[in-house]
Structure formats: structure tokens, C-alpha cells
Amino acid sequence: MPAPESSSASTAYYQALELALFRGGFLARTAHELRSPLNKVISLHQMILEGLCDDREEEIEFLTEAHGAALKLLEHLDFLIHLSKLEGDRLHPHSQAVPLAPLFEKVQSLTHLQAANRNLRLVLETPADDVQVWADPAWLSTVLATLIEVAIETCDRGTIRIALAPEQPADYCDIWVEDERTGGTWQEPRPLPDPEDFDLERSLPASLRLELVRLLLIRMGGAFSLLTTPAASESGPTRILCRLPIQESGEG
């Protein structure tokens, strides 16, 4: 009779790990995004309070800029509040039609500094404006940003590229994540460990983050697979496939 309880506990544990990736990844990547608009609001208000504006017109201009920065900060905070509500059985994707062009731009803004700090070239080939997938936009941006981060950690040269596959299957959109890792640095996604074997105080290794990415894609009706990787002694691209539906399932 303890089996159902054990199964329920394992499910809750894996959901907690997914939530940890979702929250932790967002916070780690966007700390500067939260600080930037806040610093702008503070500096603009300080200039106004110290009487550094030339006239009332410039004061209004500064207030308008500060208002825009405050709205941007509020957007990030609203998203954090949304994350705090994703617990237990409520951890489900809020899927919708997602245009890929603005999402690619968002992912690039979240990860380009990390790539630049490692002297890597990050290229996101922006799709046409009418290309969209059926997905949770927050989950999908987390998936792509996490794949970029894993590549950054294990690449020591070259380019990390995200682009649509040249040939697309019916009813799905295939996104390639390609980099110049050597075969020896590639880590296959591996099954999540039992709770007693996992240290939640440590950051997730690449293989576990890839498994969590795979699970998020599956939850959105998609798939994750490795297309190519060079042998440990060779050079060449590592290419990962992220497949997503382009419209809502007709079921139900």
C-alpha cells in the first residue's frame, strides 16, 4: 500500500526540481534586467530632486523615462509573482500561440553577456514574423536560455547558434541549437535521481538540466533529441533538436 504514496512523493519531487530550474534560471539570467530599470528610476528621480533639470520640459522628459523604466521593472516582478504560484499540481504550461521572432530576441538579451564573457559568438537567426509555435512562452524562453547556458559552460571557442531547421515537419516547428563543443564535453540527459541521492544545495549539473529541459518540452507537446555530436577526438558541431507543435492539439 505504500507504493501510491511513494509514487506521489517522487512526482512532487521531480516537479519541485522543474520549478527550481524555472525559478533559478530566470533569476540568475535576469538579475541585471531587474537592476537596470530600478537604477534608471533612481538616477532620474535623483536628478529631478537635486534640481539638475534645465527646465520643466526636461523634468517631464525624465519623469516619462522613469515611468517607462518602472513599468519594465513591474513586468519582471509580475513574472516573479507568477513563478511563485507555480507549485505542485499547478505546474502546467500556459500554452498559447507564441511568435518566435520576439522570443528569440528576448533569449538573446538574457544570454549574450554570458557568451561575450567567455569570448563566444552567440547567433540567434530570427525567424520570419509569421512563424509561431504552440507553447508556454516563459517555459520556451527558459528551455532555449538553459541550452545556451549549458553550451557556454562547456564551449571554449566558436559560435553558439539557434535557428529553425531548413526543413520543417508538418504540424511541428523544429529549432536547432548548435555549438562547437567537442564530443568529450557533451553530456547526455540522464534520469533524475531519487530525492535521497540529490543535493538540492548544489547547482544542477548539465546532464540533469538537459533532462529537465527535455521534460519541459514534452509537457508542451514537443520533443528533445540530439541530432549530431562529434567524437571525443574530433571537432565539429553539436546539434540539438527542440520540436514544438505549431497549433493546439485537437484533442478534447
Using one digit for the tens of pLDDT, what is the confidence trace for 28-43? 555 655 677 788 888 8
What pLDDT was estimated at residue 2? 42
Q: Is the pLDDT of residue 245 over 50?
A: yes
In CATH, what is the architecture of 94-245? 2-Layer Sandwich (3.30)
Q: Is the pLDDT of residue 131 over 90?
A: yes
Taking residues 108-133, what's their average pLDDT?
A: 90
Higher-pLDDT residue of 171 and 194 is 171
Provide CATH 3.30.565.10 ranges for the chain.
94-245
What pLDDT was estimated at residue 228? 73
Q: Is the pLDDT of residue 88 over 50?
A: no
Provide CATH 1.10.287 ranges for the chain.
2-89
What pLDDT was estimated at residue 26? 52
Phi, psi of 119 (to 5 degrees): 60, 35
Dig out the grid coordinates for 34 from the structure: 531587474
Q: Is the pLDDT of residue 65 over 80?
A: yes
Task: Identify the residue whose cell numbers are 544545495.
Answer: 201
Taking residues 119-143, what's their average pLDDT?
A: 91
Mean of all residue pLDDT scores within the chain: 75
Taking residues 212-241, what's their average pLDDT?
A: 77
Which CATH code for domain 2-89?
A: 1.10.287
Question: At 146, is the pLDDT very low, low, confident or very high (cuts 50, 70, 90)?
Answer: confident
Q: Is the pLDDT of residue 176 over 90?
A: yes
Whether this model's pTM surpasses 0.75: no
Higher-pLDDT residue of 93 and 191 is 93
